[in-house]
Amino acid sequence: MRRWLLGPVSVLVFCAVAAAQRKDTVYVASDLTGEGNLNRAIQEKIDAGTLSNTVFKLERLGYYILTGTITVPQGQHLEIVGPPVGRVQEEGPPQIVWTSSGGVQMNFMFDCFGDLTLKNVWLRYANTAGNQVGTTIQFEDDEVANQSGKGEVGIFENVVFEYAPCPPNAGGAVTVTAKHFKGTFRNCYFRNCIDTHLRYYGRALSFPYATTGWHNDYVFFENCTFANIGYVYMQEGGEYGDEVYFNHCTFMNVVMFTLESGWWYKMFVTNSLFVNTYMFGYVPAQLGGGVPFGGTIAISKVADFGFSVPFTEQDRHILFAYNAYYLEDWLTDWMFNCPYSKEKKRAREYDMVVVPMPMLNDSTIAFFNDNSRFPYMEMANLYNGLTYEKDSRTGILVGKPVAALNPRLVVPPTNLEAVKVFMNYKWSTNADTNWAYQPEAGLYQLWPLPENLAYGNDTLKTAAMGGFPLGDLYHWWPEQYARWEAQKEQEYQRIFTWLQTAQDPAVGVKELVERTLPRRVALSQNYPNPFNPTTRIDFSVPKAGRVTLKVYDIQGREVATLVDEFRQAGDYSVTFDGSSLPGGVYVYRLHCGNTSVARKLVLVK
């Protein structure tokens, strides 16, 4: 059985973009008269062997035209940073686009055999003429990084991923072809990631189609928005993630799977808002005796995965709490009255008429309700904005939105007539059409973007933990976001404790004595990992005694003592600050009584 990578920890500390150790800074001029400034600046540092010691800083509202794929060599780290982004045109993020010149291989915007950090940038999956480009950011497998325990690392903070269709490898805006990918997405916006033909593309994060052997160690999304997209997160072909976490995210106009599939091991989805997700709905005649997937998440039995995993049902930890689901009136009406459904009703093929997805399907709810068989699966504080009633003439289930839970978005990013045509095509002829919302805003680099996913519903405004609004606070509730940032350490402590113990610490402790104290010495994987400059380490001791927790370099030399004292039985956490140490792999070792446990951590500089 695999252990926790993150553990019951706060995620207040993310992998920092700026290293504590001083890096060289290269200021890259915007492509005002030519093309390829960013390509040339990065290639120069690759040739000099100093890429990992360099930060590439872009201009505010800059414009960077790629003339070829930017390849991150094995063992290297590429870091690109824009200025802090404001909320007026003059403070917009720098944009990276493709050249319109012919003869350029555009399969990969970034091909990462090493690690990648992007902050405060706008990636537009199009060329300078505004035409969509099938391209992706790909993380390749690195056996050396795998053996060291670091794996392949992607850190994205305040990045706009815009207009990403299906790439040639049939992945996503970010594609994983690695065995140990570790991805952090904070304050990101996946906008208009649509494919004019395929309803199940584009995607935010995905493995390629029909591959096997790739794996996510963990992926973490915080305060992210996904608006107008095929899928958000894809798992197929026996490829899955150990730890998949979403907190304070907004999902809007998702054609099919929001979070696919049901192969979750350790997962939480919390404080999030789902509006018009799984717009494709389901056709009863096509279920084959099964149940519809659901508009948010679904859970499958381990026995039904079709491949082997290193965990059992009892090992799985899944938390789905403080979330709302709503389908707008136009969508439920269109499912029942679009030309495709009207044709089926005229032909009395009533089981071929489209039905809206429920928030959760019955089998998933059964997992959450069976605490004896699935002790660590919890759902709580859900706002289901969809009910059903049978049409009196045909017996068809018709979706009925709950008006009291209508978010009433300020400016929804919905190209209404175009998306209705697209959905009708996908239910019928599968013809192509572009349903993006105001893609010209990206073409002309307008900032802020025209949509606004804040909302007027007073219930949802205070429905998240701590009385905050549900969904992405960073983009749509900036004043609330500042308050949330100040308390998020406590929020994450609550979430991770709830996830690990199936007990919400905010509402009291369940009377389960066997979970009150740890039964054995345990040392969790530090989080974040890799990190710079601080990380958190959780450990447990089953009985009182002398406890030491020390850090050693790869040669076995002690470099830090974190704990060396008598401790009562219980769960503890400490913060390790590596500011004074060089980057590299270190070992931290917990010693309690006759038991010693060690793990590796990776300091990135």
pLDDT in tens, 478-496: 999 999 999 999 999 999 9
Which among 443, 470, 489 is the end of a domain?
489
Q: Can you name the residues that pair with 273 across neighbouring β-strands?
A: 250, 324
In a domain, 274, yes or no: yes
Q: How confident is the model at residue 10 (pLDDT cuts 50, 70, 90)?
A: very low
pLDDT at 605: 83
Instruction: Classify residue 42: in a domain, yes or no.
Output: yes
Within a domain: residue 499? no
Q: Residue 18 pLDDT > 50, yes or no?
A: no
pLDDT of 571 over the 90 cut: no
Cβ 119 vs Cβ 57: under 8 Å:
no
Distance separating alpha carbons of residues 112 and 141, to the nearest angstrom: 9
Contacts of 78 by beta carbon, 8 Å cutoff, 6+ apart: 42, 51, 56, 70, 72, 110, 112, 114, 115, 116, 117
The model's confidence at residue 515, banded by pLDDT at 50, 70 and 90, is very low
Check whether residue 469 and residue 565 sit in a common domain.
no
292 and 202 share a domain? yes
Mean pLDDT of 254-281: 97
Q: Do residue 46 and residue 132 come from a single domain?
A: yes
485 and 521 part of one domain:
no
pLDDT at 507: 78
Nearest by Cα to 402 from 434, 361, 360, 358: 358
What is the C-alpha to C-alpha distance for residues 142 and 115, in angstroms, rounded to an integer? Answer: 10
Examine the fold and report which residue of 489, 507, 533 is the final residue of a domain before the chain moves on. 489
Tokens linked to 598: 């060690």
Query: Could you report how far apart the first and last alpha carbons of the chain are, in Å?
Result: 32
Q: Do residues 192 and 300 both lie within one domain?
A: yes
One domain, residues 425 and 547: no
Cβ neighbour number for residue 381 with a 10 Å cutoff:
15
Q: Domain limits at 531?
A: 517-603
Q: How many domains does the chain have?
A: 2
Residue 160 lies in a domain: yes
Q: What is the pLDDT of residue 517?
A: 59
Q: Where are the alpha helices (DSSP H) in 52-193?
A: 143-148
132 shares its domain with 223: yes
* 572-to-139, 307, 499, 518, 575 alpha-carbon distances in Å: 34, 36, 17, 11, 11
Domain-located, residue 16 = no
pLDDT band of 545, cuts 50, 70, 90: confident
- What is the 8-class DSSP label of residue 588? E
pLDDT recorded at residue 120? 98
554: domain CATH number is: 2.60.40.1930
Q: What confidence category does residue 13 fall into, taking pLDDT thresholds of 50, 70 and 90?
A: very low
Q: Which residues contact 188 (CB under 8 A, 6 or more apart)?
A: 156, 157, 158, 159, 160, 161, 221, 224, 225
Residue 346 counted as domain residue = no
In the chain, the percentage of residues whose pLDDT exceeds 90 is 83
The answer to whether 183 and 220 have CB atoms below 8 angstroms apart is: yes
Q: Are residues 361 and 470 in the same domain?
A: yes
Q: Phi/psi zone of residue 341: left (φ > 0), alpha (ψ -120 to 50 degrees), beta?
A: alpha
502 lies in a domain? no
The pLDDT of 25-51, averaged and rounded, is: 97
Q: In the predicted model, is pLDDT for residue 475 greater than 80?
A: yes
Q: What is the pTM of this model?
A: 0.84
489, 508, 527 - which closes a domain? 489
pLDDT of residue 4: 56
pLDDT at 19: 38
What is the C-alpha separation between 151 and 254, in angstroms, rounded?
Answer: 30
- Please check whether residue 15 lies inside any domain of the structure: no
Q: Does residue 398 surpass a pLDDT of 90?
A: yes
Q: Is the pLDDT of residue 568 over 80?
A: no
Q: How confident is the model at residue 3 (pLDDT cuts 50, 70, 90)?
A: low
Whether the pLDDT of residue 561 is over 70: the answer is: yes
* Each residue's pLDDT tens digit, 87-145: 999 999 999 999 999 999 999 999 999 999 999 999 999 999 999 999 999 999 999 99
User: 121 and 189 share a domain?
Assistant: yes
